[in-house]
């Protein structure tokens, strides 16, 4: 009884269902659901009751693409695992999958252990890791198998950033061949980085140094071409493929063609591509630097194709690619040379709200909101049904969401450790009220009651989405 919580009277929304139900939580898990005020739920007793009348009761968000403390562009992403996961909880996300990084010339094991150490004891919510492969060679290919067994079941490769994370086509093919055997999922940063670097050099030589040129040199065609190439390499290898941070209509079209052929090819987009555009990159006085990320923001005409892709399931997941850098002292490293602006945007706290706004605006349904933000990322990365749903046996990662509250996103009120909001002044209908992580209340009616160290490392099985 003392470890039981009863959530009464809310509309329980999962990817599959909506029902007015009472939810019983016991020992950190969902113990049972029953129709609201039914004889069954009236018989339940609990130490704590949460009144969810006029609220949604939804699974905690699963953000499958974050970069806490990422070393990048001569600096580090400004959210630590402590500040970033606390902000995630504020925004209704209860699981992140972050990226451990292999240093060129070093073992995967070394990079992974470093990331375990960064996160251990510091997280407010549960977390897992993908592994960034920066140096595909015989040794790292062998290590992939061991990592899959250990619960690191996805590997990011970069067709961009030559000299940093870049892999050539031969390395990509080898890693894909290995994943076809060991069950790992290759996640691809699909931009032709070799061609982009030529265009960067030419732009700078012409004196085009402002942030908006970041968007101009990283051309739509070079995202589409890399997406196409990645898909063909995956076909040759017989491996599934997950393309990260898809931003261009033409890249969605490549995914759609592949999926129409029945290929196991999946795509993720991010709130910044759905809600922001090259207009932001062109903001004067170097303010555009706040919006520098890769793939870059696109002209707003691309947004319709991204929403369409999310509706048609040519895109399956919305993650944040949360990679915050402060404007002062970090984004400013690129004054006078856009190529030196650290790439990345903050957003881990904003994703669930922005996607609820998309429900209000009619872009997606309520259940699709939960599918793309909770259930499918959990399935894609081997966390389902522990995460991503509300069902008996699942972890009690639950958000009580007020769909009628009004809020304005702002740096003044957010909890991310970054000195600006990419969505400053944006009005949102809907707000997180209370959050449970494995049954513990970590946000209690908009007060943080969690703690660093509550969140635990969560090993993952291989992709559970391959039959979709």
Q: Which of 8, 36, 67, 302 binds ligand URP (CB under 6 A)?
A: 67
Distance from C-alpha of 189 to C-alpha of 273, rounded to nearest angstrom: 15
Binding residue for ligand URP, selected from 108, 157, 293, 443, defined by CB under 6 A: 293
Instruction: Give the nearer residue to ligand URP in terms of CB position, either 344 or 455.
Output: 344
Nearest to ligand URP of 52, 323 (CB atom): 323
Cβ contacts of 374 within 8 Å, gap of 6 or more: 15, 58, 59, 60, 61, 62, 387, 388, 389
Cβ closest to Zn ion, residue 10 vs residue 84: 84
Neighbours of 365 (CB within 10 A): 14
159 sits near ligand URP (criterion: CB under 6 A): no
- Decide whether 348 or 441 has the Cβ nearer to Zn ion: 348
Q: Which member of 61, 344, 430, 450 binds ligand URP (CB under 6 A)? A: 344
Window 211-240: residues binding ligand URP (CB under 6 A):
none
In angstroms, give the least distance from the CB of 132 to ligand URP.
Answer: 9
SS3 66: strand
Query: Which string of b and e fits 183-199 if b means at least 16 CB within 10 Å?
Result: bbbbbbbbbbbebbbeb
Give the one residue of 135, 143, 191, 321 binding Zn ion; rule: CB under 5 A: 321
Neighbours of 263 (CB within 10 A): 15
Of the pair 30, 132, the CB lying nearest ligand URP is at 132
Structure tokens at 454: 């509550």
Contact by Cβ (8 Å): 47, 78: no
The answer to whether residue 5 forms part of the interface with ligand URP (CB under 6 A) is no
Our finding on whether 189 is near Zn ion (CB under 5 A) is: yes
Q: At residue 133, what are phi and psi to the nearest 5 degrees?
A: -90, 110
Q: Which of ligand URP, Zn ion, none is residue 351 near (CB under 5 to 8 Å by kind)?
A: none
State the nearest-atom distance from the C-beta of 295 to Zn ion, in Å. Answer: 7
Q: Supply angle C-alpha 257, 261, 262, rounded to 5.
A: 120
Q: What angle do CA 304, 308, 314 make, to 5 degrees?
A: 130
Neighbouring C-alpha atoms within 13 Å toward the C-beta of 349? 24
Rule CB under 5 A: say whether 223 interacts with Zn ion. no
Please identify which residue in 294, 319, 434, 437 interacts with ligand URP, judged by CB under 6 A: 294
By CB under 6 A, the residues from 399 to 438 that bind ligand URP are none
Give the one residue of 8, 130, 189, 228 binding ligand URP; rule: CB under 6 A.
Answer: 189
Residues forming contacts to Zn ion in the complex (CB under 5 A) are 189, 321
Residues forming contacts to ligand URP in the complex (CB under 6 A) are 67, 189, 245, 293-294, 321, 323, 343-344
């Amino acid at each position: 009884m003392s470890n039981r919580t009863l959530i009464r009277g809310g509309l329980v929304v999962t990817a599959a269902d909506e029902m007015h139900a009472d939810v019983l939580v016991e020992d950190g898990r969902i113990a049972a659901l029953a129709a609201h005020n039914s004889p069954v739920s009236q018989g339940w007793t609990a130490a704590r009751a949460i009144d969810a009348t006029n609220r949604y009761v939804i699974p905690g968000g699963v953000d499958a693409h974050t970069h806490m403390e990422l070393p990048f562009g001569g600096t580090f992403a400004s959210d630590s695992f402590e500040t970033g996961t606390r902000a995630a909880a504020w925004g209704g996300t209860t699981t992140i999958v972050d990226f451990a990084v292999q240093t060129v010339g070093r073992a995967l094991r070394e990079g992974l252990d470093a990331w375990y150490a960064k996160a251990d004891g510091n997280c407010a919510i549960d977390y897992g890791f993908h592994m960034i492969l920066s140096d595909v060679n015989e040794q790292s290919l062998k290590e992939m198998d061991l990592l899959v067994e250990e619960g690191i079941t996805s590997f990011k490769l970069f067709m961009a950033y030559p000299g940093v994370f870049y892999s050539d086509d031969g390395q990509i093919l080898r890693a894909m061949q290995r994943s076809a055997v060991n069950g790992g999922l290759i996640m691809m940063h699909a931009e032709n980085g070799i061609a982009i670097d030529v265009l960067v050099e030419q732009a700078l030589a012409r004196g085009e140094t402002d942030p908006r040129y970041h968007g101009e040199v990283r051309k739509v065609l070079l995202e589409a071409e890399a997406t196409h190439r990645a898909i063909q390499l995956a076909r040759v290898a017989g491996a599934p493929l997950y393309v990260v941070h898809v931003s261009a209509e033409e890249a969605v079209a490549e995914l759609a063609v592949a999926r129409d052929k029945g290929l196991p090819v999946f795509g993720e987009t991010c709130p910044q591509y759905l809600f922001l555009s090259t207009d932001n990159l062109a903001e004067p006085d170097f303010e555009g630097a706040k919006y520098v990320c890769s793939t870059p923001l696109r002209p707003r005409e691309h947004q319709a194709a991204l929403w369409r892709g999310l509706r048609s399931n040519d895109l399956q997941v919305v993650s944040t690619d949360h990679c915050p850098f402060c404007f002062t002292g970090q984004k400013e490293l690129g004054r006078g040379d856009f190529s030196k602006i650290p790439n990345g945007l903050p957003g881990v706290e904003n994703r669930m709200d922005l996607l609820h706004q998309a429900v209000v605006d009619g872009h997606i349904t309520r259940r699709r909101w939960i599918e793309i933000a909770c259930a499918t990322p959990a399935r894609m990365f081997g966390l389902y049904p522990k995460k991503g749903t509300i069902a008996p046996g699942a972890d009690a990662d639950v958000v009580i969401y007020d769909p009628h509250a009004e809020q304005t996103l702002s740096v003044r009120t957010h909890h991310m450790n970054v000195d600006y909001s990419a969505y400053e002044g944006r009005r949102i209908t809907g707000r997180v009220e209370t959050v449970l992580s494995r049954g513990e209340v970590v946000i209690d009616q908009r007060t943080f009651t969690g703690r660093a160290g509550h969140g635990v490392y969560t090993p993952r099985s291989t992709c559970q989405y391959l039959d979709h």
